């Protein structure tokens, strides 16, 4: 026999689960930048790659040789973006403070000249993390020899 009461007890755990999920999702003060960045695997940064980040299309690429101790240019196309920063890190290794603010050119393309340090352990795998108006996009890459 089913009554309204037994329905309630059956659905209560589901309700609690939904509530917990909501609380976790809607933590106060949670900004897009607090969440794990989206990853873009770009086979050839010299040609550039495109992805969707939130509600806008983002294109990213570099000009020049992807080498350490030699400046190269990072460019980012992100329609209507106000602030674009690029940070360069190595997974599990402190490589110092490599944060660049990119500046929009006349055509609205954000550009910045970047010079990477040498890795003392000989690693060449880097992650460029773009912050575009608080949304983050991680782009792993390997520098040339
Ligand atoms: Cu390193």
Q: How far is the CA of 15 from the centre of ligand 1 (A)?
A: 47
Amino acid 9: pLDDT: 63
Q: How far is the CA of 9 from the centre of ligand 1 (A)?
A: 56
Q: What residue spans define the domains of the chain?
A: 32-142
Q: How far is the CA of 72 from the centre of ligand 1 (A)?
A: 19
The better pLDDT of the pair 20, 64 is held by: 64
DSSP-derived secondary structure letter, 90: B
pLDDT band at 3 (very low <50, low <70, confident <90, very high): low
Ligand 1 is a single-atom ion; what residues have CB below 5 A from it? 90, 93, 119, 123
Q: How far is the CA of 59 from the centre of ligand 1 (A)?
A: 26
CATH class of the 32-142 domain in this structure: mainly beta
The better pLDDT of the pair 17, 101 is held by: 101
Taking only the tens place, the pLDDT of each residue in 27-86 is: 544 455 467 999 999 999 999 999 999 999 999 999 999 999 999 999 999 999 999 999
Nearest to 116 by CA among 144, 78, 76, 75: 144
Taking 90 as the threshold, does the pLDDT of residue 135 lie above it? yes
Q: What is the mean pLDDT of residues 14-25?
A: 51
Taking only the tens place, the pLDDT of each residue in 87-127 is: 999 999 999 999 999 999 999 999 999 999 999 999 999 99
The secondary element (H helix, E strand) that includes residue 143 is: none
Q: How far is the CA of 122 from the centre of ligand 1 (A)?
A: 7
Q: How far is the CA of 88 from the centre of ligand 1 (A)?
A: 11
């Amino acid at each position: 026999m089913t009554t309204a009461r037994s329905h309630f007890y059956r659905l209560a755990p589901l309700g609690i689960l939904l509530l917990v999920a909501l609380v976790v999702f809607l933590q106060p003060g949670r900004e897009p930048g607090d969440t794990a960045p989206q990853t873009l695997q770009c086979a050839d940064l010299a040609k550039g790659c495109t992805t969707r980040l939130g509600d806008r299309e983002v294109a990213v690429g570099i000009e020049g040789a992807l080498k350490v101790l030699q400046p190269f240019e990072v460019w980012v196309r992100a329609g209507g973006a106000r602030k674009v920063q690029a940070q360069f890190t190595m997974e599990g290794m402190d490589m110092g403070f490599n944060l660049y603010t990119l500046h929009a050119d006349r055509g609205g393309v954000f550009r910045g000249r970047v010079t990477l340090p040498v890795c003392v352990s000989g690693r060449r795998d880097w992650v460029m993390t773009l912050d575009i108006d608080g949304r983050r996009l991680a782009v792993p890459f390997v520098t040339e020899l």
